[in-house]
């Protein structure tokens, strides 16, 4: 053991060594890790412990899966242009918002945990259907392996966009901290990019590191031993931007989900909420777009739908054919979308026999463009494909 741990950390270490059940061990190890000061001398120890923690959590997950036969499945089948999940503590106004957005009538309550199962509904931004799912309230400790907690987290992992629902009449920092903490423990990172590293295993040739000038606080040797710790002896490691050893651990352990996220600030009709809204923007506005709403007064709902649409990162494309004119319903495609993507959606033949396409775009000087398969489409483009 590297020495020089402060007494609190040593006490936590002892507690961890004495822990008996899996959940006790996980909890104690988390506390032990939190008590260790972070500096060069403790980096390796921290990494070992975090790896141990990941193993224990995986063990817990597989054991709860095995014992979980017969439980209710929380999976929500996707519909429309994409799925937005409403995530928040209890009584923050998730159900009320779902009802206003989708015209459902899910029970709204001023007592905790009214909503016990995921509730899906569909809202429309112009002609775009967007699926909204309310999950049961997240709570402190949800990521520590309880069945409900794991189910909630797995629905969130499957969604396209996470909407953090924050009650402007309650403690903002506490809500944000709890949500982010639980999601982070559940390996869901919001508005972050994966570390700029790729590890490609090879059949031989040892470990080659490309871009080592980007390494921060570690050497190529450290990277090589970390890979070996993970059972990788032959690989090409490509580094595209600044990374440290912790980033490498993240990549090697994998299974982290990165999600785009926004904050929906609720109950804006109640007195005293504007100062909380300002605080929320000041504190979190650089990372999250913050959209204020009042479900009771139906305010801010259109702006919220527009933001959902933008965050889904899709385009609407209408097809035109000489006989029937312009299609009423759009084809919805993930950006960047090309003519080829549309062609594939219609029929494979449109790719095989493709000659060219015409695109009508109002914002352009020349409204009709003659284009090829690689042409990138914008929202509201109208397209006609010509085949041989
Ligand atoms: N004044 C006001 N009250 C709201 C608003 N949205 C929700 N509430 C109230 O907050 C309480 C909890 O709402 P609910 O939607 O059940 O919260 P959930 O537990 O997050 O689903 C209920 O009493 C709602 O009537 C709002 O926009 N304005
Ligand atoms: Mg609810």
Q: Hey, what's the torsion of the CAs at 135, 138, 143, 148, to 10 degrees?
A: -50
Distance (Å, whole) CA 98 – CA 200:
43
Q: What is the pLDDT of residues 247-272, one digit of tens each?
A: 888 888 777 899 999 999 999 999 99
- To test ligand 1's pocket by mutation, which of 93, 168, 272 has the most ligand atoms within 8 angstroms of CB? 93
Q: Which residue, judged by its Cα, is nearest atom 23 of ligand 1? A: 110
- To test ligand 1's pocket by mutation, which of 91, 101, 133, 268 has the most ligand atoms within 8 angstroms of CB? 91
Res 19: pLDDT: 86
Residues 188 and 156: beta-carbon distance below 8 Å: yes
188 CA → ligand 1 middle, Å: 26
Q: Which residue, judged by its Cα, is nearest atom 8 of ligand 1? A: 93
3-state secondary structure 14-39: HHHHHCCCHHHHHHHHHHHHHHCCCC
91 CA → ligand 1 middle, Å: 6
Residue 257 CB less than 6 A away from ligand 1: no
Q: What is the pLDDT of residues 153-178, one digit of tens each?
A: 999 999 999 999 999 999 999 999 99
96 CA → ligand 1 middle, Å: 5
- To test ligand 1's pocket by mutation, which of 89, 96, 152, 175 has the most ligand atoms within 8 angstroms of CB? 96
Task: Show the DSSP H helices in 68-166 as ranges.
Answer: 94-102, 147-158
Query: Cα 238 to the chain's mean position, in Å?
Result: 24
In this predicted structure, the answer to whether residue 213 has a pLDDT above a threshold of 90 is: yes
Q: What is the pLDDT of residues 285-329, one digit of tens each?
A: 999 999 999 999 999 999 999 999 999 999 999 999 889 999 999
160 CA → ligand 1 middle, Å: 24
Residue 110 CB less than 6 A away from ligand 1: yes
Q: Which ligand is nearest to the CA of 94?
A: 1
Q: What is the pLDDT of residues 89-137, one digit of tens each?
A: 999 999 999 999 999 888 887 766 766 789 999 999 999 999 999 999 9
Distance (Å, whole) CA 79 – CA 153:
19
Residues 131 and 116: beta-carbon distance below 8 Å: no
102 CA → ligand 1 middle, Å: 16
Closest CA to 80 of 126, 133, 134, 128: 128
Using CA atoms, how far residue 262 sits from 69, 92, 285, 308, in Å, is 35, 15, 9, 9
- Supply the pTM of this predicted model: 0.79
Q: Which residue, judged by its Cα, is nearest atom 5 of ligand 1? A: 267
95 CA → ligand 2 middle, Å: 4
Assigned token pair, 41:
């001398």
Residue 135 CB less than 6 A away from ligand 1: no
Res 249: pLDDT: 86
Other C-beta atoms lying within 10 Å of the C-beta of residue 295: 23
Helix 273-284 × helix 172-185 angle, to 10°: 40
Res 68: pLDDT: 45
Share of the chain above pLDDT 70, in %: 95
Residues 123 and 74: beta-carbon distance below 8 Å: no
Domain 83-192+257-312: CATH class, spelled out: alpha beta
Q: What is the CATH number of domain 315-387?
A: 3.10.20.30
Domain ranges of the chain: 7-67, 83-192+257-312, 197-244, 315-387
């Amino acid at each position: 053991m590297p020495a020089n741990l402060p007494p609190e950390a040593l006490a936590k270490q002892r507690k961890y060594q004495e822990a008996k059940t899996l959940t006790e061990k996980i909890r104690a190890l988390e506390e032990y890790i939190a008590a260790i000061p972070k500096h060069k001398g403790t980096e390796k120890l921290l990494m070992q412990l975090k790896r141990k923690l990941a193993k224990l959590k995986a063990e817990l997950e597989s054991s709860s899966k095995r014992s979980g036969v017969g439980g209710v499945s929380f999976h929500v089948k996707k519909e429309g242009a994409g799925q937005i999940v409403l995530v928040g503590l209890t009584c923050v106004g998730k159900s009320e918002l779902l009802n206003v957005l989708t015209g459902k009538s899910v029970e709204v309550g001023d007592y905790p945990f009214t909503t016990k199962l995921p509730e899906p509904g569909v809202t429309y931004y112009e002609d775009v259907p967007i699926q909204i799912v309310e999950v049961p309230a997240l709570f402190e400790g949800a990521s520590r392996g309880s069945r409900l907690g794991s189910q909630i987290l797995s629905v969130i992992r499957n969604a396209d966009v996470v909407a953090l629902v924050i009650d402007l009449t309650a403690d903002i920092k506490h809500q944000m901290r709890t949500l982010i903490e639980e999601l982070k423990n559940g390996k869901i990172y919001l508005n972050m990019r994966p570390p700029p590293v790729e590890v490609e295993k090879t059949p031989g040739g040892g470990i080659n590191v490309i871009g080592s000038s980007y390494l921060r606080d570690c050497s190529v040797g450290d990277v090589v031993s970390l890979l070996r710790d993970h059972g990788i002896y032959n690989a090409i490691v490509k580094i595209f931007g600044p990374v440290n050893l912790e980033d490498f651990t993240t990549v090697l352990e994998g299974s982290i989900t990165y999600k785009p996220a926004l904050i929906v600030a609720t109950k804006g009709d109640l007195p005293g909420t504007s100062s909380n809204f300002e605080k929320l923007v000041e504190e979190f506005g650089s990372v999250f777009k913050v959209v204020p709403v009042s479900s009771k007064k139906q305010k801010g709902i259109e702006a919220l739908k527009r933001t959902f649409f933008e965050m889904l990162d899709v385009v609407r494309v209408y097809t035109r054919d000489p006989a029937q004119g312009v299609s009423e319903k759009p084809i919805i495609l993930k950006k960047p979308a090309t003519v080829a993507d549309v062609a594939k959606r219609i029929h494979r033949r449109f790719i095989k026999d493709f000659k060219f396409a015409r695109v009508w775009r109002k914002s352009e000087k020349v409204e009709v463009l003659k284009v090829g398969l690689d042409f990138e489409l914008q929202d509201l483009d109208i397209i006609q494909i010509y085949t041989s």
